[in-house]
Structure 1
Amino acid sequence: MAFYTYILECSDGSFYTGHTDNLDQRFAQHQSGYITGYTFKRRPVELAWSEYFATRYEALEAEKRIKGWTRAKKQALIAGDWTLLSELARNSGDRR
């Protein structure tokens, strides 16, 4: 079974990070307002980034790690700017 960690960009410009085993369904739930949490009043949302993981544990660990990141680090991840992401991690003392 596949698992995903994902970042949504909300209509207010904020980011939401989560994990799921069905990315299309979870995105639709956020978009429709079915999920009444953080994204409910910040719709519409856009899928900004996602990554596949072999286990739920790996996806959850990635979610936890990314949730602790600065906005700049999340933007670098979304852009695929590994050089900037590495530099930001060094500057923050984050070696993960």
Structure 2
Amino acid sequence: MLWWVYIIEAADGSLYTGITNHLLRRWLAHCQGKGAKYLRSRPPKCLVYVELQPDRSMASKREAAIKRLTRQQKLTLIQSGLTR
């Protein structure tokens, strides 16, 4: 099963990184306030980056790597393209 690593820009301009095996369902959950607690007080504005990974383990490792990036590095990643 393929997994998605994604970055969402919140209404306050912050960036949230997560993983899922069903991108549309997860996006809708975030928009309805049923997703990540972080996005409940900062409504999601748009999905700004997605990348496919072959399994949950690889997706989790990539998510952790992205979360360690600085904001500027994340913005550079986002500008590099929406899919990887």
The structure having more radius of gyration, on CA atoms, is 1
- Separation (CA, whole Å) in 2 of partners of 1:44 and 1:18: 13
- The worse-fitting range, judged by mean Cα deviation, of 58-67 and 38-47 is 38-47
Tell me: CA distance 1:27–1:61, structure 2 relative to 1, closer, same or farther (3 Å): same
Normalising to structure 2: TM-score of the pair? 0.91
User: How much is the aligned-residue C-alpha RMSD, in angstroms?
Assistant: 1.2
Deviation at residue 45 of structure 1 after TM alignment: 2.7
Whole-Å separation in 2 of the counterparts to 1:50 and 1:74:
12
2:8–2:44 Cα contact (<8 Å) kept: no
Where does the alignment leave 5 or more consecutive residues of structure 2 unmatched?
none
Comparing 50-59 with 39-48, greater Cα deviation is found at: 39-48
Q: 1:6 to 1:36 in 2, by over 3 A?
A: closer
Name the counterpart of 1:92. none
Q: Which residue of 1 aligns with 2:20?
A: 20
User: Hey, what's the Cα distance between the residues in 2 that align with 1:30 and 1:16?
Assistant: 11
Residue type of the partner of 1:4? W
Higher strand share: 2
Query: Could you tell me how far apart the structure 2 residues matched to 1:19 and 1:35 are?
Result: 11
Give % identity: 37
Higher RCO (C-alpha 8 Å, min separation 6): 2
User: As a proportion of its length, which structure holds more helix?
Assistant: 1
Which residue is equivalent to 2:42? 42
Q: Secondary structure at the match of 1:69?
A: coil
